[in-house]
Chains A and B, each alone.
Chain A
């Protein structure tokens, strides 16, 4: 279909973009457009104005900042996958990003856009949540840091305030000894995840010392499998891990749709978490 009429502006600075958004509550940020434009075309969204942040210098670039990697919001998925800073500093993000949709989408879609859209079926929110990322919001007042755990508030809703634009995300580097895996379960290559599991695991002495698990599409927001995480602490590879991962769906509230009912999603979360954890632990 064809979008309804809207105004379009392309500000030259982040401050200008924030001012545009603050001045018009029905204005929407246009990043890579891979989520927003389909909604416009389906006429499920009627923004009065699109504020194109595609060329803001403040939102670009991937930076190694010692203890963390800073990724500008407008970094495309393709740039993330190809960035040595990312693949070395936060390989889990690169692994998951490589599973996003198809090459055409990855060349247009951005990390910031994906996070700010906050679709729980998107792959990247769960990854940033699992990695304890910190989202940096810009506004006319300056920058504000929001931990991922507080950023994803509800379905398609974030903690961003009116007049704020997601400027970038800080991903803390995990030290040596960590392994990573993103287990995405979907029916076709370009389809959304029915369930996805992002796992970061640190091994010590043949057991799991620490695990961080992010769940995709298991609720209104990306979720941490907190019960499984704590049960995994100290779990030996094998039955102990298997048992711990049986708790992966605790505290989730998975949706029902054409591709899966909640009970099946819960089952998948348990199986996929085990697989992701074992793969991250180097023991597929």
Chain B
């Protein structure tokens, strides 16, 4: 039981952060606008959560320009994918009990 609780990841303990990871797990990348539309979050809210995931090195942030418009692209890191899988496994085990 203790080990399952240890695998529940605090970094994913929020709707928006869990959402960002879910989207990035099945997409090569997603830009800020796409995440915003899918999660229904405000700019500030989304930015703080992506920053938190970036600090954990779970997501990779690439800033570029499309023409003159700045574009921010997010993708998962290997570390992020592994952490997310562990987290889901832990939840599933918890639910089976």
A and B interact physically:
no
- Please give the residue numbers on chain A whose beta carbons come within 8 Å of chain B beta carbons, in ascending order: none
